[in-house]
A and B are shown apart, each in its own frame.
Chain A
Amino acid sequence: MKILTGNDLKSGAVIWWDGQGWSLHVDDAVDASEHADEILAREEAARHVNSSYVVDATQTPEGVRPNHIKERIRALGPTVRPDLTLKPADPSAINWVI
């Protein structure tokens, strides 16, 4: 599947296209294969997202997982600071990243 990502313009936070808007959580990401360019152009113009692009991902039983490690680290946070990730109470969350 192809999912869309970028950064929130003001906060810089990593965000993912969920079909209606932008989510902090990669599990909310939807397949946007068919309309990726159109969505990104529209959302960039509206300043809903900054520096956006398309990412290859896989729908797994555990959720949406970007195929490349760089995107998986973006999706969770720095593996060396579990306290600063999106799942600070779950240090094992980094296991699906690496």
Chain B
Amino acid sequence: MYKYDSYDQAMVDTRVEEFRDQTRRRIEGTLAEENFRPLRLQNGLYLQLHAYMLRVAVPYGTLSSAQMRMLGDIADKYDRGYGHFTTRQNIQYNWIKLDEAPDILADLAKVEMHAIQTSGNCIRNISSDQYAGAAKDELIDPRPYAELLRQWSSFHPEFLHLPRKFKIAVIASKTDRAAMRLHDIGIEIVKNDAGEIGCAFYVGGGMGRTPMIAPLINPFVPLDQLITYSEACLRVYNRYGRRDNKYKARIKILVHEMGKDEYTRQVEEEFAHLLTQGIEPPIAELERIIPYFADPAFDAAASDDLDLSDPDFAVWVKNNTVAHKAKGYVIAVVSLKPVGGIPGDASADQIRLMADLAKDYSFDELRVTHAQNIVFPHVRKSDLYTLWQKLDAADLSTANLDGIGDIIACPGLDYCSLANARSIPVAQKISERFAGKQEELGELKLKISGCINACGHHHAGHIGILGVDRKGVENYQLLLGGSEGADTSLGTITGPGFSEDGIVDAVEKATNVYLANKEGEERFLDTYRRIGMAPFKEAIYG
């Protein structure tokens, strides 16, 4: 894992003290809310439905045990004993007191964490593949490049006041596990025909009220020009992105309205200019970063044997583990979606337990996924049963990864001041209704957003649900056919919306159509794509 150098630490420490002073002035009355608001937002502090909410950055979703332990301690010390892992690989606390916020940031700084740029019209936390450095199918570990982007984008003076927020994802495998093409910039590390490693740039994707899949604008940018090309993409956006209408201010609108070809032409022109300016970080900086992401000391003699005689363990292994690049090891995923639970929530005790287990069984490392789960990236197969037993004892062994119970849901109207409808109760009801059908339904990604901002990624769900406000009453639209992987697609609305109970019934009708029509090993999404919307509509509304 990356370790702060003295510059990183000094920047974060200085920021804490700066915010402490700003907070003091706000409480004393020498700083008005209109002046304080942008300052607190730049430090991740929102005012939400019930209290202040703090969003903490987890760069590319990677955490050490010490960092995870601190997140648990903060939940106890400053919040109400739990945290909420988000669809941006971050964590949020819902019950923060303003006068304690600087102390939280100081505690985070002790473990090389912060909340900087988790809000505002700037480059947000860089996201990545949660299996980076462990996946069997990756070209290289994308995290050193995500870290380089993190350093470049942190406090970048030119990009702190963009037309709108800006999200970048970096992956290095064909199996896109980071919804890369639904980001403002999606970077896929690829190998060209000459065997050289470089970056494919996809620009102008996003969800929200105008969902778009990012088009490919450059199939191969040499790795040693990654930052320069990113800067060119941002410069053209910063120059022409709309600032007159926040709903048309994201880069996806610019790329769409300007046209991919013209946007690309301007980026290439800017890129050519920037190449003459020498803005790419020195190679020595990348060489300093890369060793931090070196493989841990895997035991070459580790056995691939796994005793699956415990049937519950066997189901968990089948559903919640992923092939590892090292022989004798496996990637284990903890679902934060117990039946009837709140997606992404974990108690302080659970967070600390996962920190301890990562220390004992996963080389001190964890990952947060955009699907609101936690990953132990490097587990020796011989330790897997012990790990599972300890997770099971803490209600962390739900075996539903990528199944209908593994629901992505935004906080919705239970917590969020932007939401129009509650997301969590719908997720809970669906989770309970389908608890016994996980195995029968197989992979079925269901995603729920409580408003059009789409933090719950409903556009990209095999089944998506969007909560809307219909004359003060919650109403839920159903979408089918979305996907966020290598086969990214946007869901289509089935028709008129439903009540809270009605949407659960509608989901069941849709799954019944799938089960009646599936051929062979087809997933829900495959069947939908083959037979189309009509049979689903007929079953749901007929």
Contacts and interface: CB of A to CB of B under 8 A. Distances in A.
Chain A at the B interface: mostly helix, strand, loop or mixed?
loop
A67 B472 contact: yes
A69 B98 contact: no
B80 A80 contact: no
Contacts of B419: 70
Interface stretch (B46-54, B218-226, B234-242, B437-445): B46-54
B496 interface: no
A11 B425 CA distance: 27
A12 interface: yes
For this complex, into which size category does the number of interface residues on chain A fall? Answer: 20 to 34
B27 A9 contact: yes
A2 to B, nearest CB: 17
B147 interface: no
A69 B51 contact: no
A95 to B, nearest CB: 13
Contacts of B47: 7, 12, 50-51
Interface string A2-46: 000001011111100000000000000000000000000000100
A38 B473 CA distance: 32
Contacts of B99: 10
Contacts of B105: none
A12 B473 CA distance: 26
Contacts of B253: none
Contact of B97 (A10, A69, A81): A10
Contacts of B170: none
Given A12-B97, A67-B472, A69-B474, A79 B49 contact: no
Interface string B73-94: 0000000100000000000000
22 contacts: A7-B47, A7-B51, A9-B27, A9-B98, A10-B98, A12-B95, A12-B97, A14-B50, A50-B47, A69-B413, A69-B474, A70-B413, A73-B413, A73-B422, A74-B50, A78-B424, A79-B414, A79-B425, A80-B422, A80-B424, A81-B342, A84-B80
Interface of A: 7, 9-14, 44, 47, 50-51, 67-70, 73-74, 77-81, 84, 98
Interface of B: 26-27, 29, 33, 47, 49-52, 80, 95-99, 342, 413-415, 417, 419, 422, 424-425, 428, 472-474
